[in-house]
Amino acid sequence: MRVELLVPDAPPPRRAAGDDNAFAQALDAIGAVLAGADRAEDAFAVGDGTLQAAVYERARADVALSVATATAQRAAQALQSIFNMQV
């Protein structure tokens, strides 16, 4: 099995003490990436943007969705393991 490291475009945001809505912020960030991809594709469709920008933004959105999906699957597996424990 070959594992490739995930190198982010920007450093992770600093989390303030007592910040309980980190999950909502993560969902908002994913939504922003998807919206950016849609804007770049729409700009290319009307002739204002470049193909390179549209492809790059769509690739970023695909990576964000892949990471979110993998995270959700891992969390579900962890919860399932906990629920299957005999007490």
Quick one: CA dihedral 73, 36, 54, 6, positive or negative?
Answer: negative
What φ, ψ does residue 10 adopt, rounded to 5°? -140, 160
Residue 9 has a pLDDT of 76
pLDDT in tens, 36-77: 999 999 999 999 999 999 999 999 999 999 999 999 999 999
Residue 30 has a pLDDT of 93
How many whole angstroms separate alpha carbon 20 and alpha carbon 2?
36
Q: What does pTM read for this prediction?
A: 0.66
Q: What angle do CA 16, 60, 5 make, to 5 degrees?
A: 75
